[in-house]
Structure 1
Amino acid sequence: MIIVIFFIGHWFLSLFFQTFFQHRYASHRMFTTSKGWERVFYLMAYFFEGASFLHPRAYALMHREHHAYSDTEKDPHSPHFFTDVFQMLKATLKTFKDHRMKAIDPEARFKGYFPEWPVIDRMGSSLLSRLLFGVAYTLFYFVFATHWWMFLLLPVHYLMGPIQGAIVNWCGHKYGYTNFNNQDKSKNTSPFDFLMLGELFQNNHHRFPNSANFGKKWFEIDPVYPVMKLMHYLHIIRLRKAYLN
Structure 2
Amino acid sequence: MAFMISANMDRGDPDFQMEAAISKIFGSEAAWAVADECIQVMGGMGFMQEPGVERVLRDLRIFRIFEGTNDILRLFVALQGFQVLGHPQGLRGPAGLPDSGGAAPGGAGGSQGPPGQRRPHHGGGDAEAAQTTQCLELFAETAEALLLKHGKKIVEEQFVLKRVADAAIDVYGMAVVLARASRALGLGLPTAPHERLLSLTWCQEAHERVLTSLRPLPTRSFRNLRDLAGAVVESGGVVVPTPLGF
With the length of structure 1 as denominator, give the TM-score of the two structures: 0.23
Q: Which has the larger radius of gyration?
A: 2
Greater helix share, 1 or 2? 2
- Flag the structure with more relative contact order, 1 or 2, with Cα contacts below 8 A and sequence separation at least 6: 1
With the length of structure 2 as denominator, give the TM-score of the two structures: 0.23
